[in-house]
Chain A
Amino acid sequence: MLVEFAMQHAWLVPLLPALAFVIIVFLTRPFRKLSAIVAVGSMAVACFFATLAAYGIFTNHEYIEKPLVYATRWFSLGLPGMPDLRVDVGVQLDPVSAMMLFMVSFIATFIFLYSIGYMEGDPGYSVFFSYLSLFGASMLLLVISSNLLQMFVAWELVGLCSYLLIGFFTHKISAREAAKKAFVTCRIADFGLLLGLLALQIVFGTLNLTELAEKIEHFEEYTTFGMLTLIAVLVFIGPIGKSGQFPLHVWLPDAMEGPTPVSALIHAATMVVAGVYLVGRTMFLFHEVPSAMQLVAVTGGFTALFAATIAITQREIKRILAYSTVSQLGYMMLALGVGSLTASMFHLWTHAFFKALMFLGAGSVLHALHHKADVWEMGGLYKKMPITTWTFVIGGLAIAGIPPFAGFWSKDEILVAALNGGHYVLFAMAAFTAFLTAFYMWRMIFLAFFGEENPANHPHESPWTMTLPLVVLSVGAIGAGWLGTPWYNIWGEWIKFGHPHHGPVNYGAMLLSIVLAAAGIYLAYMLYLKDAKKKRARKMAEWFGPVYRMLYNKYYIDELYLWFNHALVDGTARLFYLFDIYVVDGIVNGIGAFARLSGDGLRVFQSGRIQNYVLIFFLGVLAVAVLMAFTGPSAASLVLGGVK
């Protein structure tokens, strides 16, 4: 059976793109088209296997309750103080990972396809596809890992790919800076995660997810509650960085310097949700620590609102989308924090479709307008670019939360989860964010696609390799949410932590979210489409001058970090630098000089004369004899008693 085969060989899914990476780097790099075909083909086959494996998991009730784990020993060490350090590698298939496996490979396939047209004419065409394949392999490995160490390796690999791809246009200084910023910011967060993982290994003696889940249920046998809280917080620092949560969100908007397919794939649909995924995977840990859950929820809720307010004022199309990504990731974290893995993963799933769709749509626009990114300079694109426009509108309806589009169902699920958990403040924040989301998204849509045409632009529709992914993803953006409607919630049966929650259908929350979304769109319509001169919008900005400027400058957080960096880090660094060049370098150079001089000195003995060699040999024998006589336990008796 093909399904059985796919489930037993799920490791093929990350392996195929990895092979594509190797093939492109070593063999097909000079042939551009061939490289692209290798990358797209391998990802499509991986997607095929992933689909089969996911089908197998979801149709068999057994695997929903008990994950399917295939693992093998990577290495094992006996260390003093840690008697058996065993590290496994393997694949774990359960509904969560199967869903991710399918989602990542599916979206990646279409974004790879899209890149064929988008990257046309770029000198680094093959290299781009090799990086994309490496990213695909790493992300799929991350998703499928049965072990946190293995997951961490993949986590770092996706970070590396993100760095390489953000800075792909190496000739642009801003791209290089953005890549550096992303890498450094994520490194800070990864350090926390690494500490958390080490603590888990030391305390529980394993990093296998299934074993950890069992052990943490009875954590009292291993450690104190305080330690567990610390571990949970440390582990959470990793996702804060990777998933762009406040205060480490700063890298994500800048990451839009990368090529648009990269923004869509890595910085919207897949890599940035790795943090949410990690928290979801380690839910058994957070579940035991209410304060950590609270932290996750508050961080998520705050980030959602915070990023949405910034998005209102931004002008560049990809930047607006980036802040909306940060905001939506906040939603997912919020859902996790209020204890609903179902809602979080559901939003992750729907978001991947509509956000990838919108980024690709934005890429199509940029492609047509030769990378003019300011939405105020666009307008009326719907005439020349119908496919892009209408698919983008579908994405906009989905993210705003208009039924029956995908985003409505998942956002509603999160709102209900917050409400049922008794988190009223967070509920209010999330609801207000929903209003803001609808507003800023439709502001962008009205400004860019409708209204009067800008005569300076000469847009044209993109080639089929770019529009086909748009159409396919828009189908997802419409229908992906129907898996989890409140009336027939099959999603909740599949993906859950503990028992599935079957609350009554909350029509009040549903109505509220529709009203808020519609109000946001209406407000945007009034300000940016009806009022062709945009007078009212400008007046609003003037009235709220200081607030507007603060939002436009992203709460001056980048400036704050820069100031902190200049004042404190550089200052301390200067101090350490002096220490370094005078004290440390002095010692190091001293040792180096000593090593070299003694090397020269010892060389003198190597005269090439056999007599000398023999002499040294016998001196050596003598020395060993003396040593032996004086170091052994019987040395004393030998010296005192003499030769018997």
Chain B
Amino acid sequence: MMPFDPSALTLEMLTAVLGLGVLILGLIVPKGSRHGLGWLSLLGLLGITGVAVSMWGDSRELLNGMYLVDNYALFWKITFLLSAMLVILGCMRYVDEMGGQAEYYSTVIFATLGMMIMASAGDFITLYLGLELMTIAFIILVCFRKTDVKSVEAGIKYILLAGMSSAVLLYGLSLLYGLTGSVIMLEVSRVIAMQPVTPALILAVVMLVAGLGFKISAVPFHMWSPDVYEGAPTPVTSFLAMGSKAASFAILLRLFVAALPGVWENWTMVVAILAAITMIVGNLVAIPQTNVKRLLAYSSIAQAGYIMVGLVTASEAGIKGVMFYAFLYVFATVGAFTVAAYFYNVTGSDELKDYAGLSQRSPLMAAVMLVAMLSMAGIPPLAGFVGKFYLFKTIIDGYLWLAFIGLIMSMVSVYYYLRVALVMYRDEPVDPTPIKLPSPVAVTLIVAMVVTLVVGVYPGPLSEVVNNAAHSFFLH
């Protein structure tokens, strides 16, 4: 037994301290100056990100593999931290208007903590703890507008459905424990490799797919997401769409590639079919949407479908594709949702028709929305193109049909993405007053746009980092 080394948990401990600190400070600080808490959280997260970057290359196992610290986990943690920071930076004014800053920011930080634990989880218990920490934090965030009927409805829906999916996931995990006698993933994979594939094992895999499929909103486990996305406060929606999804992908890869490589042949086809259905349904249902948040919700379902393509082969290249896409997806999503959130702040509307003439009212907002959407559609030279390329490249050999579906659905997606662009750029605004952007929002938008552009034109460095992270995955 290795000695317990608490320094491996530096990031998690710092995040927990930051979350608690913000919560306590919220009680002390007078109401009028609570908006400073946003900056405090931001700086704290920035510092933690710095620590995370400095830990790059660290590779350790805690408690016999219960907790894994490697570049793979670190990459995801940095992704979560970045997305949390962008969400906080872009939506401070939204939160100030909503009230309850201390609770809001600390809950966001705790959700991030949950994601970080998921990324490092090496056994089922840790996994579940991280998952529930994140989910409960999100439930609180979703119904944060306590007086808004839609927000509360979304919260109730989310708590019921998330509870159900957790139950299914737990059922799957307990089946696995029953079959192998261990909860530690590396141990589980060793035992499974020696056993024949039994129906009980298959059932366990099915439960895991369903439970985590819910979190990444894969069709047919996606039903909650449009309703919840629409009802939740927009910053929360954006964090839910990228953070929670990215974390679930992180754990999905860990679970299936590290713990269940023995049943790979059994689930690869199923994942391929689920990916195909998710792409098809997400994109098709997005077409008739008239509400921007709902449209983005369906588009995020479709995006999950693309990312699932990387799971199909579960090779190093696939893992790389997933990580690459998840990273750039964070920036495209932040861009689009920050625009939506700020637009709601100014106009009180999420309807597409009210976006008419946005390019004249605020060229930056329109440009960021356009870049984000074109990137999600996979138009070069934006990041989404490179991401899709890395993903689909992995399946050309065995699953050409899936690549074709992805291609066709990307084309379909251009239709509804460009419809937004059309409304923003072609139509005349009803109310032509220019929208003034406060600098934090402008900074968020510019960061999102610049990263999307730069990664698209020069993907080399990020690709190297992701390669390195994906490689570390197989070192345990």
Give chain A's interface residues, CB within 8 Å of chain B: 72-80, 592, 595-596, 598-600, 602-603, 605-606, 608, 610, 612-614, 616-617, 619-621, 623-625, 627-629, 631-634, 638, 643-644
Contacting pair A621 B207 (CB below 8 A)? yes
8 nearest interchain CB pairs?
Answer: A632-B266, A620-B220, A613-B223, A631-B269, A599-B287, A599-B284, A625-B206, A621-B210
Contacting pair B285 A602 (CB below 8 A)? yes
Contacting pair A600 B161 (CB below 8 A)? no
Complex partner residue of A625 from B203, B317, B412, CB under 8 angstroms:
B203
Given contacts A632-B265, A633-B266, contact A602 B281 (CB under 8 A): yes
Contacting pair A632 B269 (CB below 8 A)? yes
18 A–B contacts, CB within 8 A, in A order: A72-B460, A77-B393, A595-B284, A599-B286, A599-B288, A603-B288, A606-B226, A610-B161, A612-B223, A614-B164, A617-B164, A617-B223, A620-B210, A624-B206, A631-B269, A632-B265, A638-B202, A644-B199
Q: 10 new A-B pairs (CB below 8 Å) besides A613-B161, A616-B223, A628-B270?
A: A595-B415, A596-B288, A603-B288, A612-B223, A616-B220, A617-B210, A624-B206, A628-B202, A628-B267, A633-B265
For A592, list chain B residues within 8 Å (CB): 415
State in angstroms the CA–CA spacing of A602 and B224 once bound together.
Answer: 14
Contacting pair B270 A631 (CB below 8 A)? yes
B227 in contact (CB, < 8 A): yes
List B246-272 residues whose CB lies under 8 Å from chain A. 263, 265-267, 269-270
State in angstroms the CA–CA spacing of A628 and B265 once bound together.
Answer: 10
State in angstroms the CA–CA spacing of A595 and B280 once bound together.
Answer: 9
Q: Which residue of B lies closest to A602 (CB)?
A: B285
Given contacts A617-B220, A644-B198, contact A78 B317 (CB under 8 A): yes
Contacting pair A76 B460 (CB below 8 A)? yes
For B219, list chain A residues within 8 Å (CB): 620
State in angstroms the CA–CA spacing of A619 and B284 once bound together.
Answer: 21
B463 in contact (CB, < 8 A): yes
Complex partner residue of A624 from B197, B210, B227, B463, CB under 8 angstroms:
B210
For A79, list chain B residues within 8 Å (CB): 393
For A614, list chain B residues within 8 Å (CB): 160-161, 164
Q: Which residue of B lies closest to A72 (CB)?
A: B460
Contacting pair B273 A629 (CB below 8 A)? no
Complex partner residue of A80 from B196, B220, B281, B397, CB under 8 angstroms:
B397
For B274, list chain A residues within 8 Å (CB): 624
For B266, list chain A residues within 8 Å (CB): 628, 631-634
For A610, list chain B residues within 8 Å (CB): 157, 160-161
Q: Which residue of B lies closest to A632 (CB)?
A: B266
Contacting pair B285 A603 (CB below 8 A)? yes
B168 in contact (CB, < 8 A): yes
Contacting pair A617 B207 (CB below 8 A)? no
Given contacts A596-B288, A617-B210, contact A627 B223 (CB under 8 A): no
Contacting pair B227 A621 (CB below 8 A)? no
Contacting pair A74 B458 (CB below 8 A)? yes
| Interface size in chain B (residues, C-beta < 8 A) | 52
CB distance from B174 to the nearest CB of A (A): 16
List B406-430 residues whose CB lies under 8 Å from chain A. 412, 415
Among A73, A620, A634, the most chain B Cβ lie within 10 Å of the Cβ of: A620
B239 in contact (CB, < 8 A): no
State in angstroms the CA–CA spacing of A477 and B463 once bound together.
Answer: 51
Complex partner residue of A595 from B206, B210, B287, CB under 8 angstroms:
B287
Contacting pair B220 A74 (CB below 8 A)? no
State in angstroms the CA–CA spacing of A629 and B219 once bound together.
Answer: 19
Contacting pair A632 B281 (CB below 8 A)? no
State in angstroms the CA–CA spacing of A634 and B202 once bound together.
Answer: 10
B108 in contact (CB, < 8 A): no
Contacting pair A74 B460 (CB below 8 A)? yes
For B209, list chain A residues within 8 Å (CB): 624
Contacting pair B284 A617 (CB below 8 A)? no
CB distance from B192 to the nearest CB of A (A): 13
For B203, list chain A residues within 8 Å (CB): 625
Contacting pair B160 A617 (CB below 8 A)? no
Contacting pair A75 B463 (CB below 8 A)? yes
Among B221, B265, B396, B459, the most chain A Cβ lie within 10 Å of the Cβ of: B221
Q: Which residue of A lies closest to B223 (CB)?
A: A613
Q: Which residue of A lies closest to B265 (CB)?
A: A633
CB distance from B164 to the nearest CB of A (A): 6
Contacting pair A621 B206 (CB below 8 A)? yes
Contacting pair B397 A602 (CB below 8 A)? no
B18 in contact (CB, < 8 A): no
Q: Which residue of A lies closest to B294 (CB)?
A: A606
Q: Which residue of B lies closest to A625 (CB)?
A: B206
B118 in contact (CB, < 8 A): no
B214 in contact (CB, < 8 A): yes
Given contacts A614-B164, A632-B269, A644-B198, contact A606 B460 (CB under 8 A): no
CB distance from A593 to the nearest CB of B (A): 11
B313 in contact (CB, < 8 A): no
State in angstroms the CA–CA spacing of A75 and B456 once bound together.
Answer: 10
For A600, list chain B residues within 8 Å (CB): 288
Complex partner residue of A632 from B165, B197, B317, CB under 8 angstroms:
B197
Given contacts A606-B226, A644-B199, contact A627 B287 (CB under 8 A): no
Given contacts A79-B393, A598-B284, A634-B197, contact A627 B161 (CB under 8 A): no
B205 in contact (CB, < 8 A): yes
Q: Which residue of B lies closest to A621 (CB)?
A: B210
List B214-239 residues whose CB lies under 8 Å from chain A. 214, 219-221, 223-224, 226-227
State in angstroms the CA–CA spacing of A483 and B339 once bound together.
Answer: 61
CB distance from B213 to the nearest CB of A (A): 8
CB distance from A156 to the nearest CB of B (A): 13
For B284, list chain A residues within 8 Å (CB): 595, 598-599, 602
Contacting pair A617 B214 (CB below 8 A)? yes
